Structure 1
Amino acid sequence: MGIAIVGTACAAAFACALAWTPIAPRRVEAVAGAERVGAAECRDCHEDVLGHEEMASYHADCEACHGGGSLHAESQEPEDVRFPSTGDCLACHEKGRDTHLAWGTGEHARAGLLCADCHGVHEPTRQFVRRTAGSALAPRAAAPGGMFQGGERTRVCTACHEDVAARFQYPSHHPVREGQLDCTSCHDPHGDSRVHAGDATARCTSCHQDYAGPWVYEHQPVAEDCTECHDPHGAPASDLLASPQPAICLECHSLADLWHHNTSGTGIRGNTGASDDFSAPGSGASIKPLEARTFLRECTNCHGAIHGSYTDETLQH
């Protein structure tokens, strides 16, 4: 029985893996007839590229990526030299780098991006902006970034992801614009760029450990996905809530359910339906205006242990 279960699970996993067909990185063929001439020959024209000492630490000369440069050195025509592709980069950078092994199934690869669209291949800093055609990036003197970008890598991401960049301007936001985090703190740009390995909740609780539990009484969204309630990039409501309280709570908890679990038609705590009462639509439950003013505030005024509790099933403490 056990063997059958394991076999079924393995077969299902294998079928799932086959459904995600990797995009094989293509290597550019060398220019026919070109021979190596050495970096000194390149320096005569490309002093701006060869002047960066950082590249020397990689022990890579020009022709390691561009192939023989003899024809280009003579004609100075771009078509006489090889321009490397993602496959050429991965020939070196895939070795021992688990983050790059998933590139072929990642969202950026499927969008047609190349390594050079985000990384400054030659220089420590490179400028980026969205091209008018296609999804790749072209140089512009505005947003520093690239291979040695340091704390500026987020600006490389937001050159395309402008909608996300706008959310960092909300009053409640993760400290990305302050430089305490960057996009790669949560996202893997080389693989599944939604989140790093593991589900979203696990990624959140790796930092927000106070909310990880396990709890005796757990708020269901905590176990499912933190983004059920929170917008991780930024929100106008406090605490990164996608909408303010009580609206965010009412997306799951209907008004009829919230009369403190009393749907008998007698209102909260057994109040009778007096003339100054009103009812939740469709609930048959009445509530006095004074209690309504108390109720229509933040739910966490009472349910303070909103993520989970060890002692109280109503999450009040």
Structure 2
Amino acid sequence: MTLRATLLLLALGLSALCTGANEQSQPDCLACHTATADVAVHAVFHTVHGALDGGGAAACSACHGASEAHARRPTDAAPQVSFGPRWQAEAEARDGACLGCHAGGSALHWAGSEHQQEGLDCASCHRSHRQQDPALNESESQAVCVSCHSRVRAELLLPSRHPIAEGKTACGDCHNPHGALTGASLREPSLNEQCFTCHQDKRGPFLWEHPPAAEDCGLCHRPHGAVHDRLLTVRGPALCQQCHAAAFHPSLPYGSEGLAGGGANRNLLGKNCLNCHSRIHGSNHPSGARLAR
């Protein structure tokens, strides 16, 4: 045998040894997590996550780490990065497994966000093994949000509300659950700008502006739901009288004693500032200084 042939055989032998060592270092997750034993695990192969690093067991280690100890003693040792429920790694480790790929875009401000500061992690809302993640499904995402935000869930059942239950809008249309530079994790720089994405007719600029409307929509409206029409915080004329004690004509303060059952004051029940001042957000009419036209 020639020297060249001997060297070639040695090279092939070393290559085989290295390949075998690599195969042994790669845990065979699917040997235990079979399709019949754990259907939820195998559902990941119907998602984009199931194709990571070529798919198969390599996709498992792409998120859960090499997990050699778990491969040797599966009942005693946890995977390197576990999302529970039996074992659960630290929130930073769980987030790190996701942010290794999802670090930009809508998740850019996750670090320091309200949800992150509350100790939540990606797996608190997302189900990466499911073919259809409920947090990314428009018909199911609301349930994910209100499972924690119970006050909002109650407000969405009030007579005047945003049509989230009907599927015409969703929590994610206004809020970025991964964090933002604004209060309440709004997607726009301010509450008004967020409202104007849908209510563009209220944006202006107007020749005659109503200062509270230009300052903050939340001064008069509740964003999720209210007992009063048009999401108002208080019904008219009481809402207007919080600022306008005497608006250039007799303006009597009306209280709850004038409602039905307490005296039924016809002025309170039938009167509303909006009956005349209908352009309450602003007016471009030359004679609209009082927002009446």
TM-score range (shorter-chain normalised) is 0.7 to 0.9
Q: Say whether residues 1:191 and 2:179 are aligned partners.
A: yes
2:207, 2:282 within 8 Å by CA — same for their partners in 1? yes
Q: In structure 2, do the counterparts of structure 1 residues 42 and 197 end up closer, same or farther at CA, with 3 Å as the change threshold?
A: farther
- 1:233-244 matched pairs, under 5 angstroms: 233-244=224-235
Structure 2 contact 222–233 (Cα < 8 Å) conserved? yes
**Closer, same or farther in 2 for the Cα pair 1:218/1:73, shift >3 Å?**
same
Q: Post-superposition shift, 1:56? A: 4.2
- 1:260-275 paired onto structure 2 within 5 Å: 261=248
Question: Does residue 202 in structure 1 map to residue 199 in structure 2?
Answer: no
Answer yes or no: is 1:313 the counterpart of 2:289: yes
After TM superposition, give the deviation of residue 296 of structure 1 in Å. Answer: 6.7
After TM superposition, give the deviation of residue 307 of structure 1 in Å. Answer: 0.5
Q: Which has the larger radius of gyration?
A: 2
Residue 37 in structure 1 maps to residue 27 in structure 2: yes
Q: Does 1:99 align with 2:116?
A: no
* Residue correspondences, number: 236
Query: Are 2:272 and 1:301 equivalent residues in the alignment?
Result: no
Q: In structure 2, do the counterparts of structure 1 residues 199 and 78 end up closer, same or farther at CA, with 3 Å as the change threshold?
A: farther
Write the mapping of 1:216-235 to structure 2, written as runs, cut at 5 A. 216-235=207-226
Distance in structure 1 (CA, Å) of the matches to 2:96 and 2:44:
24
Identical residues among aligned pairs (%): 34
Q: TM-score, normalised by structure 2?
A: 0.72
Displacement, 1:124?
3.3
* Counterpart secondary structure, 2:185: coil
Equivalence for 2:129: 122
2:20: which partner in 1? none
**Match of residue 73 from structure 1:** 71
Q: Deviations over 1:229-285 (max 9, x none)?
A: 11110111001111111121122222xx23xx25xxxx58xxxxxxxxxx769xxxx
Separation in structure 1 between the aligned mates of residue 273 and residue 199 of structure 2, nearest angstrom: 21
**What is aligned with 2:159?**
171
Contact 2:29 2:71 in 1 (8 A): no
Q: Which runs of 5+ in 2 are unaligned?
A: 1-23, 53-58, 83-92, 255-264
- Does residue 154 (structure 1) correspond to residue 154 (structure 2)? The answer is no
Cα offset, 1:81, TM superposition:
1.1
2:46 is aligned to: 54
Q: Is the 8 A contact 1:124 1:149 kept in 2?
A: no
